[in-house]
Amino acid sequence: MRLWDSKSKQFTELKGHQGYVFSVAISTNKQTIVSGGEDGTVRLWDSKSKQFTELKGHQGYVFSVAISTDKQTIVSGGDDGTVRLWDSKSKQFTELKGHQGYVFSVAISTHKQTIVSGGEDGTVRLWDSKGKPVAELKGHQAPVSSVAISTDKQTIVSGGSDGTVRLWDSKSKQFTELKGHQTAVRSVAISTNKQTIVSGGSDGTVRLWDIRLESWLKAGCERLQDHPVFKNRESSEAKGAKATCEPYFRQSR
């Protein structure tokens, strides 16, 4: 594992895992680094001393790790089908069971209220801070490779082997499907202001999605400009569409 200085471009090599390192995360104050690997361990590294603490519990590979903003909670998911919540001080964990098959990705909300996991069974699962299941989100037609959660925990993002990115409303449990990748989506992230989604896939592309309602309205209205409904401007449909779209018509002309 390597710790890079963004200014000098120099790196420090951190050794400890036996085998592949599948996932890394870093605390907001940059003091703690978390890693998970092929050897089934989760490791907590001190960024200054480069020393680590080893957390054992998974019965197989650890595919994904995440850390809370206060550094007190570590989340991990692995091929044993479990999600684990670790207390960084006591080193004790709570085991969360629900997925059928591998857990490929985990995330934790800013205030630790919501844990998200995605797995081989094609589901996205939400858990509370105590490890109790909150919701099971179904929609993907293949394994879920990556999950992310917005800072206000209202929006969940998932990417799957079905080539789609999905935006979930954590309250209504409804989703919006974003299509563009030609093959599996391997990684997703969401900006702090929730305006941009980033996804990376096996097709070799990184895609930026503008999810602001305004941008969606503009795109829709631009397509509607030549729709037959506008020929009969007295119809209720035309009046309603005009009221919504007129600002965007002006912008695009």
- Mean pLDDT by groups of 10 residues along the chain of 253 residues: 94 95 96 97 95 96 97 97 96 97 97 96 97 96 98 95 96 92 97 94 96 66 69 68 65 46
pLDDT at 104: 98
pLDDT at 253: 43
pLDDT at 236: 72
* DSSP structure string for 132-176: -EEEEEE--SS-EEEEEE-TTS-EEEEEETTSEEEEEETTT--EE
From the number of C-beta atoms within 10 Å of its C-beta (0-12, 13-18, 19+), residue 97 rates as: exposed
Tell the CATH topology of 2-211. Answer: Methylamine Dehydrogenase; Chain H (2.130.10)
- C-alpha angle with apex 202: 199 to 206, nearest 5 degrees? 30
pLDDT tens across 7-17, in order? 999 999 999 99
pLDDT tens across 98-132, in order? 999 999 999 999 889 999 999 999 999 999 999 99
| Cβ neighbours for 157, distance < 8 A, ≥ 6 positions apart | 147, 148, 149, 150, 165, 166, 167, 168, 188, 189, 190, 197
Residue identified by tokens 């089908």 is: 81
pLDDT at 129: 92
Helices 236-252 and 213-224: angle between axes, nearest 10 degrees: 110
Domain ranges across the chain: 2-211, 216-252
State if pTM tops 0.75.
Answer: yes
